[in-house]
Amino acid sequence: MVCPTKNTTTLQVVFYQRVEALDCDWRDESDWSTVESLLVRLKGEFRGFNVLIVQSFEQTKIVVRGYADILNSIRLRYPTGGFSNTCLGHVIGCSANRDIVEDLKRGIDRVLFAPETIEPQGSDKVVCHNCGCGC
């Protein structure tokens, strides 16, 4: 456990409960064990930047009908940067490969190091998340 100093900021990665939709043929094939490995690695990497990465799970449920819902079930909370509860899909926009580890890493990097590239909350810009729906 790292004890935060007064200069340390906290980025919270929050996972909502994912419930697979029964009326949908799409299934999540993400390797969730690699997500845990990524977060352990990033905790060490970002310690040098005085950023504490904290992982938590909440009872909020997201019905999953596609990859966009997977992205929306992960929230990044970084109040220091102005992000109180932003879904990963909003942070990254389009997913290049539908790879949850790649997308989470990209989202965390973006929130910490390029927040100006994230569309403001409430924006009406429609972004394709590459979920496979054909939009």
Kindly list the structural domains of the chain, giving each domain's residue range(s) and its CATH number in brackets, ordered by start: 9-22+29-117 (3.40.30)
pTM attached to this predicted model:
0.85
pLDDT digit string (tens) for 9-50? 999 999 999 998 988 888 898 999 999 999 999 999 999 999
pLDDT at 132 over 50: no
Local confidence band at 129 (pLDDT 50, 70, 90 cut-offs): low
Task: Give the largest CA-CA distance in the chain.
Answer: 49
pLDDT digit string (tens) for 58-82? 999 999 999 999 999 999 999 999 9
- What pLDDT score was predicted for residue 117? 87
pLDDT digit string (tens) for 81-113? 999 999 999 999 889 899 999 999 999 999 999
pLDDT at 133 over 70: no
- What pLDDT score was predicted for residue 35? 96
